[in-house]
Chain A
Amino acid sequence: MTTSLRLRAGLVSIVLLAAFLGIWHLATRSTAPVATMSPEYAKLMGLTATQGKSAMPGPLDVGAKLWEHLKRPFYDNGPNDKGLGIQLAYSIGRVGTGYLLAVIVAIPLGFLIGMSPLLSKALDPFIQVLKPISPLAWMPLALYTIKDSSISAVFVIFICSIWPMLLNTVFGVASVRKEWVNVARTLEVGTIRRAFTVILPAAAPTILTGMRISIGIAWLVIVAAEMLVGGTGIGYFVWNEWNNLSITNVIIAILLIGIVGMLLDQILARFTRMVTFPE
């Protein structure tokens, strides 16, 4: 039953994909050539004008280009011409660094806040104000103080991924079932051991959920951040190719951004499943 459902769902997915590609192809294919045009002018205008070809690339163009990229993902021909693999690696590197820094700060801090009602109340107004700020709003401040565009991008990732993790850690720690804490208390378990043997495992699913939300946001933000700071990364690549009017490359980048984002989410989802316990 489940296998057949999965099979049928897979089939429907393939049909939908084929339909999408088909419509895309039909919508962007060449129509009848526009006849009345001097050859010089036609040459100037390119295929768009002469064959009625759409400026929007079709799926075949994108596929061919993608194949080219996949064959040479890591070439480096100077600042504006690098392989997609290199650009993605830059972006993933920035996201990874900013995200890990956020983990290092958010989880211990969240533990402290969650375990202390005083800190929780005292820090709440700050968190409430800081949380809704668009991470990109920090960019000028970061560029001004840090004076390095790449580190500024990392900072922006740090600041955007910290909130979901922090809030989820606080919530997870503060809402550990009282009876579990009481078990530890009746066994005279010290604070540190209690934190690691009761509170951490009990709060882990909530914390991991926060981490999963954070990685999603970080990946959303890195594209925008790299468009702003330029230089390297998949966000910069998109912007650069838009300036080159290479819509094909833009579409390929969009596709890859989606795939990498999905992979990052899947990794976190797997970790979440590992720490989730049935009750």
Chain B
Amino acid sequence: MTDKFISIEGIAKRYPGAGAAMTTVFENLWLSMARGEFCCVIGHSGCGKTTVLNILAGLDAPSEGAVIVDGQAISGTSLDRAVIFQSHALLPWRTVLGNVAYAVSSKWRSWDRAKVKAHAQTFIDLVGLTGSEHKHPSELSGGMKQRVGIARALSITPKMMLMDEPFSALDALTRGTLQDEVRRICLETGQTAFMITHDVDEAIYLADKIFLMTNGPGAVLAEVVENPLPRDRGRTDLHRHPLYYALRNHIIDFLVTRSKTFAAETPDHDPRNVPMVHIGKPGLSIASDARPEPSRETSWPGLSRPSTSS
């Protein structure tokens, strides 16, 4: 494999359940990400995506296992790992500038006011909020609030960004614009990003790798799907790419049926070696993919079926 910038090693999360029994949200979860990679997690509600992200952020501790970032096991939160919260989580008593400056002054405690302000302003400009610095969050639209959240996360120049359904509360148009911005910024700054999403198209547009999680409790990471679309993909011609529908159908099939039946159908699933799925790459061995999919073959002549290899 390539270098593992982030490596989640056999983590589990258990909560006290009914009586003395423990409810296991997930266990023995292994996952790794390379530097500069954009990864999306898709799975149904309650399968533990937020929990994984919180553990990565250090806001939550795993019941078992460890998270290694850059060669070191993490303990607690870090300014290296910025979080963009689903509910934007801006401090409502601070202005836009105040919110970003709070992050900046938390990272560089010795900076004076002017330096903090100038640095914060750079990132406010970057997300296109120039002119709204002195507004309070209550005066901003949902999209603008999320922009402030992005500016705040970027302003501390983190090594990775963790995003928990950052755009799910936004309208489609705003969501599209912000996806473009996040994509641009992550490519420009070489960010490693970990994003939870419910939106299959969002994952296809943004991700290099897509993690598919089965339903909880006892969720597992079923597959890692490699995005076959080129890195310089554009939003408008995404659907014209010959592999777009194959990829999309694969993910939707997973969400609709396989996320429920995966555990029963795949008893020999090895959580340490999650199969890597390459959509439409001919010539690779077809390991465990025995599902007949004639419709896909007819609608996509010349393309081989999604194949899996470990």
Asked if A70 CB lies within 8 Å of chain B CBs, one says: no
Q: Is there contact, CB below 8 Å, between B136 and A277?
A: yes
User: Contacts A277-B93, A277-B136, A279-B138 known; A186 to B77 CB distance under 8 Å?
Assistant: yes
Question: Which of B1-9, B80-88, B166-174 participates in binding chain A?
Answer: B80-88
User: Contacts A182-B85, A185-B59 known; A201 to B106 CB distance under 8 Å?
Assistant: no
Q: Is there contact, CB below 8 Å, between A180 and B79?
A: no
Inter-chain contacts of A277 with B (CB < 8 A): 92-93, 136, 138
Chain A 69-89 per-residue mask, 1 if CB under 8 angstroms from chain B, else 0: 000000000000000000000
Inter-chain contacts of A177 with B (CB < 8 A): 89
- A176-212 contacts to B (CB < 8 Å): 177, 179-180, 182-189, 197-198, 201-202
Asked if B91 CB lies within 8 Å of chain A CBs, one says: yes
Tell me the interface secondary structure of chain B in the complex. loop
Q: Is there contact, CB below 8 Å, between B57 and A278?
A: no
Q: Which of A184, A188, A197, A202 contacts B78 (CB 8 A)?
A: A188
How far, in angstroms, from A167 to B29 measured CA to CA in the complex? 44
Tell me the interface secondary structure of chain A in the complex. helix
Distance from A203 Cβ to chain B, minimum over Cβ atoms (Å) = 11
Q: Which of B82, B102, B138, B156 has the most CB of A within 10 A?
A: B102
Chain B 61-91 per-residue mask, 1 if CB under 8 angstroms from chain A, else 0: 0000000000000001111011101010101
- A150-185 contacts to B (CB < 8 Å): 177, 179-180, 182-185
Q: Is there contact, CB below 8 Å, between A187 and B103?
A: yes
User: Contacts A180-B89, A278-B138, A279-B138 known; A197 to B102 CB distance under 8 Å?
Assistant: yes
Asked if B235 CB lies within 8 Å of chain A CBs, one says: no
Q: Which of A179, A189, A202, A279 contacts B85 (CB 8 A)?
A: A179
Distance from B18 Cβ to chain A, minimum over Cβ atoms (Å) = 23
Q: Is there contact, CB below 8 Å, between B91 and A201?
A: yes
- A254-279 contacts to B (CB < 8 Å): 275, 277-279
Asked if B175 CB lies within 8 Å of chain A CBs, one says: no
How far, in angstroms, from A198 to B78 measured CA to CA in the complex? 18
Q: Is there contact, CB below 8 Å, between A186 and B92?
A: no
Q: Which of A179, A186, A202, A275 contacts B87 (CB 8 A)?
A: A179
Asked if B107 CB lies within 8 Å of chain A CBs, one says: yes
Instruction: Using CB atoms, name the residue of chain B closest to A277.
Output: B93
Instruction: Using CB atoms, name the residue of chain A closest to B149.
Output: A183
Inter-chain contacts of B77 with A (CB < 8 A): 185-188
Q: Is there contact, CB below 8 Å, between A183 and B85?
A: yes
How far, in angstroms, from A182 to B58 measured CA to CA in the complex? 10
User: Contacts A182-B85, A188-B106 known; A278 to B91 CB distance under 8 Å?
Assistant: no
- Sort chain A's interface into a size bin: 10 to 19
Inter-chain contacts of A187 with B (CB < 8 A): 77, 79, 102-103, 106-107, 156
Distance from A49 Cβ to chain B, minimum over Cβ atoms (Å) = 67
Inter-chain contacts of B59 with A (CB < 8 A): 182, 185-186
Q: Is there contact, CB below 8 Å, between B92 and A278?
A: yes
User: Contacts A182-B59, A188-B77, A189-B106 known; A201 to B156 CB distance under 8 Å?
Assistant: no
How far, in angstroms, from A198 to B89 measured CA to CA in the complex? 12
Q: Is there contact, CB below 8 Å, between A180 and B91?
A: yes
How far, in angstroms, from A197 to B99 measured CA to CA in the complex? 11
Inter-chain contacts of B102 with A (CB < 8 A): 187, 197
Q: Which of B89, B103, B136 has the most CB of A within 10 A?
A: B89
Q: Is there contact, CB below 8 Å, between A183 and B91?
A: yes
How far, in angstroms, from A140 to B156 measured CA to CA in the complex? 60
Instruction: Using CB atoms, name the residue of chain A closest to B93.
Output: A277
How far, in angstroms, from A277 to B95 measured CA to CA in the complex? 11
How far, in angstroms, from A184 to B99 measured CA to CA in the complex? 11
Q: Is there contact, CB below 8 Å, between A188 and B79?
A: yes
Inter-chain contacts of B107 with A (CB < 8 A): 187
Inter-chain contacts of A184 with B (CB < 8 A): 106
How far, in angstroms, from A26 to B107 measured CA to CA in the complex? 74
How far, in angstroms, from A275 to B106 measured CA to CA in the complex? 23
Distance from A205 Cβ to chain B, minimum over Cβ atoms (Å) = 10
User: Contacts A182-B85, A188-B106, A278-B136 known; A198 to B79 CB distance under 8 Å?
Assistant: no
How far, in angstroms, from A186 to B102 measured CA to CA in the complex? 12
Inter-chain contacts of B106 with A (CB < 8 A): 184, 187-189
Distance from B92 Cβ to chain A, minimum over Cβ atoms (Å) = 5
Instruction: Using CB atoms, name the residue of chain B closest to A187.
Output: B106
Q: Is there contact, CB below 8 Å, between B91 and A186?
A: no
Inter-chain contacts of A179 with B (CB < 8 A): 85, 87, 89
Q: Is there contact, CB below 8 Å, between A182 and B89?
A: yes
Instruction: Using CB atoms, name the residue of chain A closest to B137.
Output: A279
How far, in angstroms, from A234 to B107 measured CA to CA in the complex? 55
Binding site for A on B (CB under 8 A): 57-59, 76-79, 81-83, 85, 87, 89, 91-93, 102-103, 106-107, 136-138, 156
A-B contact pairs, 5 of them (CB 8 A): A183-B85, A185-B58, A186-B57, A186-B79, A202-B91
| Contacts beyond the supplied A182-B83, A188-B79: 8 A-B pairs with Cβ under 8 Å | A180-B91, A185-B59, A186-B57, A186-B59, A186-B81, A187-B107, A277-B92, A279-B138
A-B CB proximity, top 9 nearest: A179-B89, A187-B106, A278-B138, A277-B93, A277-B92, A201-B93, A186-B83, A186-B77, A185-B77
